[in-house]
Amino acid sequence: MKSENQKAKLLYIEKYLRENTDENHPVTTPRLIEYLDSKGIKAERKSIYSDMDLLTAFGLDIEKVAGRSGGYYLASREFELAEVKLLVDLVQSSKFITEKKSRELIQKLELLVPHHEAVQLQRQVVVSDRNKAVNESIYYSVDTIYAAMSGNKTVRFLYFEWDENGKQVLRKDGSYYEVSPWLLTWDDQKYYLLAYDREAQIIKHYRVDKMLHLETGKDARAGREAFEQIDVASYGRRMFGMFAGQPRTVRLAMPKSLAGVVVDRFGNDVPMRLLDEQTIAVRAEVSVSAQFFGWLAGLGAGVRIIGPDDIAAEYRNYLSSILASQ
Q: Are 145 and 157 in contact (CB under 8 A)?
A: no
- Asked if residue 159 and residue 119 are part of one domain, the reply reads no
Residue 129 lies in a domain: no
Strands 279-288 and 246-255: antiparallel
Q: Are 193 and 208 in contact (CB under 8 A)?
A: yes
Q: Are 135 and 206 in contact (CB under 8 A)?
A: no
- Asked if residue 318 and residue 241 are part of one domain, the reply reads yes
Residue 119 lies in a domain: yes
What sign does the dihedral 142-208-137-170 (CA atoms) show?
negative
For residue 78, the model assigns a pLDDT of 82
- Asked if residue 22 and residue 39 are part of one domain, the reply reads yes
The CA-based diameter of the chain, rounded to the nearest angstrom, is 91
User: Residue 311, SS3?
Assistant: helix
Domain boundary, last residue among 174, 195, 228: 228
- Cα separation, 149 vs 141, in Å, equals 12
Q: What is the pTM of this model?
A: 0.53
Helices (H) and strands (E) in the chain, counts: 12, 12
Residue 302 lies in a domain: yes
- Asked if residue 262 and residue 300 are part of one domain, the reply reads yes
- Cα separation, 295 vs 55, in Å, equals 57
Residue 196 lies in a domain: yes
Strands 304-307 and 279-288: unpaired
Residue 110 lies in a domain: yes
Q: Residue-wise pLDDT tens for the chain (326 aa)?
A: 456 678 899 999 999 998 888 888 899 999 999 999 998 898 888 999 999 999 999 999 999 998 777 899 998 888 888 888 888 877 776 766 777 788 888 888 888 888 877 776 755 444 444 455 555 677 788 889 999 999 999 999 999 887 767 788 899 999 999 999 998 887 666 778 889 999 989 888 898 888 999 999 999 999 999 888 876 656 655 555 545 567 788 999 988 888 888 887 787 778 888 888 889 898 988 888 888 888 888 888 888 999 899 999 999 998 898 888 88
- Cα separation, 9 vs 5, in Å, equals 7
Residue 166 lies in a domain: yes
> What's 164's DSSP letter?
T
Nearest CA to 61 out of 76, 72, 49, 47 is that of 76
- Asked if residue 89 and residue 25 are part of one domain, the reply reads no
Residue 306 sits in a domain of what CATH number? 3.30.70
Nearest CA to 61 out of 47, 39, 78 is that of 78
Cα torsion for 7, 8, 14, 19, to the nearest 10°? Answer: -160
For 231, phi then psi, to 5°, come to -85, 95
Residue 135 lies in a domain: no
- Asked if residue 304 and residue 263 are part of one domain, the reply reads yes
210: CB partners within 8 A, 6+ apart: 135, 159, 160, 161
Q: How is 227-264 classified by DSSP, letter by letter?
A: HHTS-HHHHHHH-BTTB--EEEEEEEEEEGGGHHHHHH
Report how far Cα 249 is from the mean position of its chain's Cα atoms.
Answer: 30
- Asked if residue 85 and residue 59 are part of one domain, the reply reads no
Considering its fold, how many domains does the chain have in total?
4
247, amino acid identity: P
- Cα separation, 211 vs 206, in Å, equals 8
Domain boundary, last residue among 201, 228, 255: 228
- Asked if residue 301 and residue 256 are part of one domain, the reply reads yes
Range of the domain at 315: 235-325
Residue 137 lies in a domain: no
Residue 14 sits in a domain of what CATH number? 1.10.10
For residue 116, the model assigns a pLDDT of 78
- Asked if residue 199 and residue 160 are part of one domain, the reply reads yes
